[in-house]
Homo-oligomer: A and B are copies of this chain.
Amino acid sequence: METEYLGYAAGLLTTFAFVPQAYRMIRTRQVRDISLSWAVAMTTGSLLWLCYGIARESLPMIAANGISLVLLSIILALKIRHS
Contacts and interface: CB of A to CB of B under 8 A. Distances in A.
Given A35-B20, A35-B21, A42-B17, A56 B10 contact: no
Contacts of A23: 35
Contacts of A55: 3, 6
B17 A41 contact: yes
Interface residues of A, number: 39
29 contacts: A3-B52, A3-B56, A6-B48, A6-B52, A7-B48, A7-B52, A7-B56, A9-B48, A10-B45, A10-B49, A11-B49, A12-B45, A13-B41, A13-B44, A13-B45, A14-B42, A14-B49, A16-B41, A17-B42, A18-B38, A20-B38, A21-B34, A21-B35, A21-B38, A24-B35, A30-B33, A31-B33, A32-B33, A33-B33
